[in-house]
């Protein structure tokens, strides 16, 4: 294994993240710790859902009232969310498509469920990381993983996947209708679509840049363009919390710019049936907004949807057929 790392010379940050993911996909004492945390979160989730629904009912777009409401991540670790997929439609022996796989850091945890095959693609190529992930999944789990550079057109035939699994991708998709239609076409009739997405553009931190401090979380929505650009110049690429992501995404306009409600309208239009949807509420962000009428007024002036302002993101499990 050491030899493999040495030869491949991956981006050190990607390498570090992949090492953590390998560890998380392998049974260990950490799993016991996670299990203990999950018990705590099980109770916390039910309480927060009720409490947040009561407090936020009038502020929610009616279509979104059916969702579950969590405070921030609410214990929705990958271990948990993939298990929730597995309970709905077995991952073991399935064929899984992972659009927007990035350098492949969610793949190990999926491979641990022993699907028949994982096909993954991304518009950017990470050949070294992909070779490493594919080789490791074969060696550890006996699972075939194939990576392609590009979009849905790189995937041969349609209607052959049991699952489409996408983490942290939808908020970056420019042509959401096209993306969802292709997703639907590539699924078997009894196939499922799982997505976790966020931060969303109109929410706190929607530009994916950490400017430091909680009060700056909406600056991408209210700052004058020139001042905002000056910040990038001052902070340089370091603005992106250790990666090049924020700067790269912002200047490439790599966001869907959709409102929370619009995502759900588009899921429906594309023919998906929602089995479970979860909203991640940032209660702390809402408190800041309540206590700072000037900030809220600025967001009003920019027509920032009232609900999105304190939403971190969503998780959805959807079926192709009823
Ligand atoms: C934030 S990264 C998430 C990567 C990975 N899913 C993860 O959880 O680490 C979003 C990825 O989506 C990819 N992406 C954006 N639009 C895409 C598209 N239309 N087709 C395929 N990949 C896309 C980007 O290149 C990027 O690697």
Q: Which domains does the chain have, with CATH numbers?
A: 2-198+255-279+305-319 (3.40.50.150)
CA angle 86, 92, 98 (to 5 degrees): 75
What's the CA-to-centroid distance between 106 and ligand 1, angstroms?
Answer: 12
* Cα–Cα separations (whole angstroms), residue 173 to 156, 269, 284, 314: 21, 16, 28, 15
Closest ligand 1 atom to residue 245 Cα is: 1
- Predicted local confidence at residue 39, as pLDDT: 83
- Predicted local confidence at residue 242, as pLDDT: 39
Closest ligand 1 atom to residue 98 Cα is: 6
Nearest to 231 by CA among 254, 257, 212: 212
What's the CA-to-centroid distance between 119 and ligand 1, angstroms?
Answer: 14
- Predicted local confidence at residue 245, as pLDDT: 61
In tens, the pLDDT along 222-234 reads 999 888 888 877 7
Which amino acid residue places its CA nearest to atom 10 of ligand 1? 169
How far apart are alpha carbons 95 and 98 in whole angstroms? 10
| Burial status of residue 170 (CB atoms within 10 A of its CB: 0-12, 13-18, 19 or more) | buried
User: 0.85 cut: is pTM over it?
Assistant: yes
What's the CA-to-centroid distance between 247 and ligand 1, angstroms?
Answer: 15
What's the CA-to-centroid distance between 122 and ligand 1, angstroms?
Answer: 6
What's the CA-to-centroid distance between 226 and ligand 1, angstroms?
Answer: 28
- For 25, residues 6+ apart whose C-beta sits below 8 A from its C-beta are 108, 109, 111, 112, 140
- Give the CA-trace dihedral at 134, 138, 142, 148, to 10 degrees: 30
Assess whether the C-beta atom of 90 lies below 6 angstroms from ligand 1. no
Give the residues of the chain that fall short of pLDDT 50.
Answer: 1-7, 240-244
How far apart are alpha carbons 314 and 162 in whole angstroms? 22
């Amino acid at each position: 294994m050491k030899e493999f790392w040495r030869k491949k010379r991956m981006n050190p940050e990607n390498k570090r993240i992949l090492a953590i993911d390998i560890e998380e996909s392998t049974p260990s004492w950490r799993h016991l710790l996670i299990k203990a945390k999950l018990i705590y979160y099980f109770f916390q989730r039910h309480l927060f859902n009720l409490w947040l629904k009561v407090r936020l009912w009038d502020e929610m777009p009616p279509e979104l009232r059916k969702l579950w409401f969590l405070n921030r991540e609410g214990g929705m670790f990958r271990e948990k969310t993939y298990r929730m997929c597995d309970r709905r439609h077995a991952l073991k022996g399935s064929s899984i498509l992972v659009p927007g796989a990035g350098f492949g850091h969610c793949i190990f945890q999926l491979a641990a469920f022993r699907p028949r095959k994982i096909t993954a693609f991304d518009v950017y190529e990470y050949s070294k990381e992909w070779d490493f992930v594919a080789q490791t999944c074969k060696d550890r789990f006996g699972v075939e993983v194939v990576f392609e550079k590009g979009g849905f057109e790189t995937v041969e035939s349609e209607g052959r996947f049991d699952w489409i699994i996408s983490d942290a991708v939808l908020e970056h998709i420019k042509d959401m209708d096209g993306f969802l239609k292709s997703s639907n076409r590539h699924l078997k009739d009894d196939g499922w679509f799982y997505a976790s997405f966020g931060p969303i553009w109109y929410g706190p931190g929607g530009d994916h840049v950490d400017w430091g401090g909680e009060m700056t979380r909406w600056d991408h929505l209210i700052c004058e363009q020139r001042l905002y650009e000056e910040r990038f110049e001052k902070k340089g690429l370091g603005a992106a919390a250790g990666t090049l992501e924020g700067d790269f995404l912002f200047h490439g306009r790599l966001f869907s710019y959709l409102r929370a409600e619009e995502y759900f309208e588009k899921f429906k239009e594309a023919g998906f049936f929602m089995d479970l949807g979860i909203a991640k509420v940032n209660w702390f962000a809402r408190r800041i907004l309540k206590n700072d009428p000037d900030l809220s007024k600025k967001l009003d002036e920019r027509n920032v949807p009232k609900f999105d302002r304190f939403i971190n993101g969503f998780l959805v499990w959807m079926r192709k057929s009823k």
